A = this chain, B = another copy of it.
């Protein structure tokens, strides 16, 4: 139990039982960042389904981890099955989906973790919602710009085929709009460059931002 003394808070009344101290605040974000030797920021990847954003996000997380950084990737796999399992795909629910993801990202960033999000987030309104919640200082918008025809040709999950058949309605790029971000902090031309080139570009963008 070494070290217990040094962080003991002041007691408002000494010697009395049942008197609990009152703290000014918890361990703050700055101290957590010092512990982790990094800044907690949010990398918000936007792009069409199949654009490669999740693959790049995974590559970024691996790179950061291998270099001693704690990063966390939020994507459909751990969000839609968990915190957002009650949400469907109505406009209201898509809004709430992004709102909650942004709030969770904000919590992670405030714990010093580098948070990487990979969600289509197809409209300026949704991305602005996320930015406003997370705050402009921590929010980094990365647009993975892959032409629709490339994404559709890949069709890793078979979703484009289903959307063309009308089996998925409001599918971004086919039956629902994708608004190109006007204010992306980084644009990756993932339709033209190789994966390695794209990942290097992403890493080069992120490294200065996580420096203390």
Given A55-B20, A59-B9, A195-B21, A83 contacting B65 (CB threshold 8 A):
no
Copy count, this protein chain: 2
Shortest distance from the beta carbon of A206 to any chain B beta carbon, whole Å: 11
Q: Is the CB of A83 within 8 A of B70?
A: no
Q: Which residues does chain B contribute within 8 Å of A196, judged by CB atoms?
A: 8
Count of residues in A whose CB is under 8 Å from the partner chain: 70
Residues 135-166 of A contacting B (Cβ, < 8 Å) = 146, 150, 153-154, 156
Chain A: residues with CB nearer than 8 A to chain B? 1, 3-4, 6-9, 11, 17-23, 26-27, 31-32, 35-36, 52, 55-56, 58-59, 61-63, 65-68, 70-74, 78, 82-83, 86, 96, 100, 103-104, 106-108, 110-113, 133, 146, 150, 153-154, 156, 190-196, 199-200, 203-204
Q: Which residues does chain B contribute within 8 Å of A104, judged by CB atoms?
A: 83, 104, 107
Q: Is the CB of A63 within 8 A of B195?
A: no
State the CA gap A195–B15 with chains docked (Å): 10
